[in-house]
Amino acid sequence: MLHGVERYVIEGEGVLEGGLLPKSAANALLSVADPMMTPEKRLLAPKRTFCRLFPEASVLPDAAALIELGLAMETEDGQVAKDSSIAAGFTYFGQFVDHDITFDQTQLTIGGEANPNETPNHRSPALDLDSVYGGGPAARPELYEADGATLKIGVCAISQDGTGAEIGALPHDLPRRGDRVAVIGDKRNDENLALAQLHLAFLKFHNSFVREFQGATPSLTGDRLFARAREATIKHYQRIVLTEFLPRVIDPNALEFILSHGHRFFKPEQHDHMPIEFSVAAFRMGHSMIRPTYEWNRVFTAKATPSRLAEATLSLLFEFTQFSGSDVPGDSPFFGAATLPSNWIVDWRLMFDIDGAPPAAGLSVNRARPIDTQLSLKLNKLPEFSGAGETQPALFSLASRNLLRGRLVKLPNGLEVADAIAAAGLPHNKLTEDQLRGGPHGAKLADVGLLNNPPLWYYILREAETSAFGTLGPVGSAIIAETIVAHIRKADVSVLEDPAINQIQKIPRYTMSDLLNRIGDLNPIG
Ligand code: HEM
């Protein structure tokens, strides 16, 4: 089943990027969405907005207190970084999922207000990779090769390793315009290099299905070939989300509970909308998984080897993208190269546990930071804000932004949501006052007067910090399980289409290792 046509014309925006339409329907829409489209017709199209799973906050926290707490949370540098058991690639897989389903462009102001029910979500909330497909070949032809099915890939700039040996112009970058802007379905996927390389892996994964299906059936071309490859790509992606990613970051019991008992908070009429508790709190848990430094490949490593040039810091992973670029205003991304220098192509064996391909001798897979109330220091000055016109330093900080955005949309506090989850019969275990007072920032929470009104994002991180399993606790897990299961069930291509799939075991397991082995680009620079 394809999405209904009416979902794609959004007032003031024309055809939404997230739609996927057959060429004929897309062309028809493009012509009516342009100047000929009357306001009346546009109004017929329902808006995709955010929605609430829980009632809004009863008491708004003080903005200055939130900023103080946020800045205190971002302190971890490379010297003291801790490891979880989760392979670091899953941090960016999470960010990739986030960018597939939620995109809030409301400007953040200290002390402002926004109503989620009237706030557009600029992504389709379904797990349908609209961030990759951009609405399909008819809506975004610039993403595709002339066959109308293959996604374009970019070529790296020639570079050198630490010995001066040349690394060639390999096809391992995102496609880019002359001004280096990535030509992809969601510009945010060029925000840091780990995410950009993961986006590239998905472009190549889709193209691998195009080649396979066309090889098997040469008469399959154009729209039909594209649709088949898209369907295979999305289903494998959803399988990774359900069978590999979620069981690592949330309590697997919460996922089983939602699959077998159905939704507790998400209502059928919300199926086109994104729960604000997911986008502004629960799924931002990934911000604490970001490491300050990485073992990246044989050139960018902490190990003193002849081919080494430098350590791969988080700052450099921003620098080697166009979207973030440098935090020095006016500096060009990639240190001036036209595209990603080839010595920055990732060695995937260092980011995921790959079957049959361990990291090179002496190296091990990077592990994500534990999910807890600590964040990497660099996140207190994001180049996308500090290098680009934002004037209030408090808004350079990711943790402060998360907390202030929670206030902007009046998120309920963590204790209120914990009560609601217990009342609905879900697995629960409300944090005690002592537990909230504990941890590296419990004293700060109390100091700034938020002990009885703990921000939902902070509460969810603190739940994880107290968990024996290193995953999110009951509140974080319930919000994420509800949202992801609902938005996989409602995708036009869905591994959960059959309602009889009510247990994880009924979904065939697929892993990032399978995906990367299939595309075969484990370590292109050797
Ligand atoms: C270096 C890595 C990352 C950076 C620099 C980053 C940065 C950001 C920024 C600047 C925002 C918008 C903040 C605001 O104005 O409210 C944001 C939103 C968000 N982030 Fe991250 N993030 C990163 C990784 C992640 C990861 C790993 C996850 C999850 C696993 C994640 C989940 C989210 C979600 C769900 C949103 C809300 C998106 C929306 O609704 O528009 N992020 N992130």
Q: Is the CB of 401 under 6 A from ligand 1?
A: yes
481 phi, psi to nearest 5 deg: -60, -45
Spell out the SS3 assignment of 425-491. Answer: CCCCCCCCHHHHHCCCCHHHHHHCCCCCCCCHHHHHHHHHHHCCCCCCCHHHHHHHHHHHHHHHHCC
Give the separation between CA 369 and CA 18, rounded to whole angstroms. 32
Q: Do residues 288 and 346 share a domain?
A: yes
Distance 319 CA to ligand 1 centre (A): 17
Residue 5 is predicted with a pLDDT of 31
The whole-number pLDDT of residue 7 equals 37
Distance 298 CA to ligand 1 centre (A): 29
**454 pLDDT exceeds 70?**
yes
Residue 379 CA: which ligand 1 atom is closest? 5
- The answer to which of 44-53, 217-226, 264-273, 345-354 has the lowest mean pLDDT is 44-53
Is 437 part of any domain? yes
- 3-class DSSP assignment, residue 238: helix
- Alpha carbon distance 231, 223 (integer Å): 12
Residues 4 and 91 in one domain: no
Flag whether 296 is in a domain. Answer: yes
Atom of ligand 1 nearest to the CA of 314: 1
108 lines ligand 1 (CB under 6 A): yes
- Cα separation, 176 vs 27, in Å, equals 25
Name the band, by pLDDT with cuts 50, 70 and 90, for residue 383. confident
How many Å lie between the centroid of ligand 1 and the Cα of residue 399?
Answer: 10
Our answer on whether the CB atom of 279 is closer than 6 Å to any ligand 1 atom is: yes
**Least confident segment among 59-73, 109-123, 248-262, 319-333:** 319-333
CA 242 to CA 483: how far, in whole Å?
12
525 belongs to a structural domain: no
Q: Are residues 11 and 57 in the same domain?
A: no
CA of residue 375 to ligand 1 center, whole Å: 13
CB 65 within 8 A of CB 450: yes
Confidence of residue 159 (pLDDT cuts 50, 70, 90): very high
pLDDT tens digits, residue range 420-447? 999 998 888 999 999 999 999 999 999 9
pLDDT at 478: 96
Measured from the CB, is residue 90 less than 6 Å from ligand 1? no
Radius of gyration of the chain (CA): 22
Distance between CA atoms of 297 and 308, rounded to whole angstroms? 9
DSSP state of 239: H
Which residue has its alpha carbon closest to ligand 1 atom 14?
401
72 and 30 co-located in one domain: no
**Amino acid at residue number 10:** I
Q: Ligand 1 pocket test: which of 92, 244, 284, 400 has the largest number of ligand atoms within 8 Å of its C-beta? A: 284
Whether ligand 1 lies within 6 angstroms of the CB of 283 is answered as: yes
In a domain, 526, yes or no: no
pLDDT 10s digits, 386-397:
766 777 888 999
End-to-end CA distance of the chain: 43
Q: Are residues 16 and 127 in the same domain?
A: no
Calculate how far, in angstroms, residue 126's C-alpha sits from the geometric centre of ligand 1.
18
Whether residues 374 and 346 share a domain: the answer is yes
Mapping DSSP to helix (H, G, I), strand (E, B) and coil, where does residue 333 land? Answer: helix
104 Cβ closer than 6 Å to some ligand 1 atom: yes
CA distance 398 to 74: 9
Measured in angstroms, how far is the CA atom of residue 378 from the centroid of ligand 1? 14
222: left (phi over 0), alpha (psi -120 to 50) or beta: left
Question: From the CB of 287, is ligand 1 less than 6 Å away?
Answer: yes
Does residue 398 line the site of ligand 1, with CB under 6 A?
yes
Give CA–CA dist 321/353, Å, rounded. Answer: 25
Tokens 């970001």 correspond to what residue? Answer: 290
Q: Which segments of 43-184 are extended strands (E)?
A: 50-51, 74-76, 159-160, 166-167
Verify whether ligand 1 is closer than 6 Å to residue 380 (CB atom). Answer: no
| Distance between CA atoms of residues 333 and 181, nearest Å | 10
- Would you say residue 452 lies in a domain? yes
**Residue that wins the pLDDT comparison between 85 and 384:** 85
Please tell me the total count of domains within the chain: 2
Is the C-beta atom of 290 inside 6 A of ligand 1? yes
pLDDT at 4 over 50: no
Q: Give 404's Cβ-side CA count (13 Å radius).
A: 22
Residue 158 confidence (pLDDT)? 98
Closest alpha carbon to 309 in 320, 317, 298: 298
Helix, strand, coil percentages in the chain from 3-state DSSP, rounded to 5: 45, 5, 50
Residue 123 and residue 178 in one domain: yes
Which H helix or E strand runs over 293?
Answer: strand 293-294
Q: Are residues 42 and 52 in the same domain?
A: no
* Cβ neighbours around 221 below 10 Å, total: 15
pTM of the model: 0.92
Residue 90 one-letter amino acid: F
Ligand 1, atom nearest to 385 Cα: 10
Identify whether residues 363 and 374 lie together within a single domain.
yes
pLDDT value, residue 499: 85
Amino acid 224: pLDDT: 97
**Residue-wise pLDDT tens digits, 231-275:** 999 999 999 999 999 999 999 999 999 999 999 999 988 989 999
Distance CA 457, CA 464 (A): 11
Nearest CA to ligand 1 atom 29: 286
CB 192 near ligand 1, within 6 Å: yes
For residue 272, tell me if it sits in a domain: yes
Alpha helices in 241-349 (DSSP H): 246-249, 252-261, 276-280, 314-319
Query: What is the rounded average pLDDT of the residues 323-327?
Result: 80
Q: Are residues 40 and 62 in the same domain?
A: no
Q: Which atom of ligand 1 is least distant from the CA of 50? A: 40
Chain centroid offset of residue 257 CA: 24
Is residue 359's pLDDT more than 50? Answer: yes
Question: What digits encode the pLDDT tens for the residues 289-315?
Answer: 999 999 999 999 999 999 999 999 999
3-state secondary structure 161-218: CCCCCEECCCCCECCECCCCCECCCCHHHHCCHHHHHHHHHHHHHHHHHHHHHHHHCC
499 and 487 fall within a common domain:
yes
**524 falls within a domain:** no
Q: What does the DSSP assignment read for 370-394?
A: PSSS-EEGGGGS-HHHHTTT---GG
Kindly report the protein residue whose alpha carbon is nearest to atom 18 of ligand 1: 284
**402 alpha carbon – ligand 1 mean position (Å):** 9
Alpha-carbon distance of 88 to 523, in angstroms, equals: 16
pLDDT at 176 over 60: yes
Which pLDDT does position 393 carry in this prediction?
84
Q: Among the three residues 32, 47, 62, which one is the final residue of a domain in this structure?
A: 47
Extract the tokens encoding 142: 């610039």
Length of the chain: 526
| Residue nearest atom 34 in ligand 1 by C-alpha distance | 284
396: which residues sit within 8 A by CB, 6+ positions away?
380, 381, 382, 385, 386, 390
Residue 26 has pLDDT above 70, yes or no: no
Please provide the average confidence, as pLDDT, over all residues in the chain: 90
- Which domain does 26 fall in, by range? 1-47
* Max CA distance (Å), the chain: 69
Closest approach atom of ligand 1 to CA 274: 40
**Nearest atom in ligand 1 to 384's CA:** 10
C-alpha 163 to ligand 1 mean position (Å): 37
Cβ 313 under 6 angstroms from ligand 1: no
Q: Give 49-61 as a DSSP string.
A: BEE-SSPPPSSPP
Gap from CA of 320 to ligand 1 centroid (Å): 18
* Residue of the CA atom closest to atom 11 of ligand 1: 398
pLDDT digit string, tens, across residues 178-226: 999 999 999 999 999 999 999 999 999 999 999 999 999 999 999 999 9
Q: Per the domain annotation, does 314 fall within a domain?
A: yes
417: which residues sit within 8 A by CB, 6+ positions away? 54, 277, 456, 459, 475, 479
Rounded CA-CA distance 52/47 in Å is: 15
CATH number at residue 335: 1.10.640.10
Mean pLDDT of 77-83: 78
CA 464 – CA 435 distance, rounded (Å): 11
Q: Ligand 1: which of 287, 296, 314, 323 to mutate, judged by most atoms within 8 Å of the beta carbon?
A: 287
Q: Is 307 in the pocket of ligand 1 (CB under 6 A)?
A: no
The predicted structure's pLDDT at residue 23:
42
Same domain, 238 and 199: yes
Chain centroid to CA 74: how far? 20
Rounded to an integer, what distance in angstroms lies between the CA atom of residue 394 and that of residue 399? 9
